[in-house]
Structure 1
Amino acid sequence: MAVNDIEMLRQAGFSFAMENAGSAVVAAAKYRAGSNNREGVLDVIDKVLKHEAPFNQ
Structure 2
Amino acid sequence: MGFVLVLTVPLFYESYEEQVDSFSEKAMIEIKKQYAVFDEKVLSKIPIGPLKKD
Q: Name the TM-score, length of structure 2 as normaliser.
A: 0.29
Higher relative contact order (Cα pairs below 8 Å, separated by 6+ residues): 1
Query: Whose strand fraction is larger, Structure 1's or Structure 2's?
Result: 1
Query: Whose helix fraction is larger, Structure 1's or Structure 2's?
Result: 2
